[in-house]
Amino acid sequence: MEWQNYIVSNPKILYGKPHIKGTRIGVDLVLEKLSLGENIEQLLNSYPHISTASILACLYFAAQHIEKQPVKGY
């Protein structure tokens, strides 16, 4: 998946936090909602201007960024 097609960062939008392109919906918001038990269908109902692909891009973006972080304390 090319998350770059869906996730952008602009210092003028959400203080530069990564968000879904063309929206003010932050990657962190999507991840938080999923972690609290919402599913993709519920997110799409709440935010009809995003797509399943953009939600999956948020997950892939997070995975890619975590993968690059060094593990400390182990």
- Taking only the tens of pLDDT, the chain with its 74 residues reads 799 999 999 999 999 999 999 999 999 999 999 999 999 999 999 999 999 999 999 999 999 999 877 777 65
Give the C-alpha separation, 44 to 51, whole Å.
7
Residue found by looking up tokens 């304390």 in the block: 73
**What DSSP letter does each residue of 38-71 carry, written as one string?**
--HHHHHHH-TTS-HHHHHHHHHHHHHHHHTSPP
Nearest Cα residue to 30 out of 21, 71, 67: 21
CATH 3.50.30.40 matches 3-67: no
Domain boundaries, the chain: 3-67
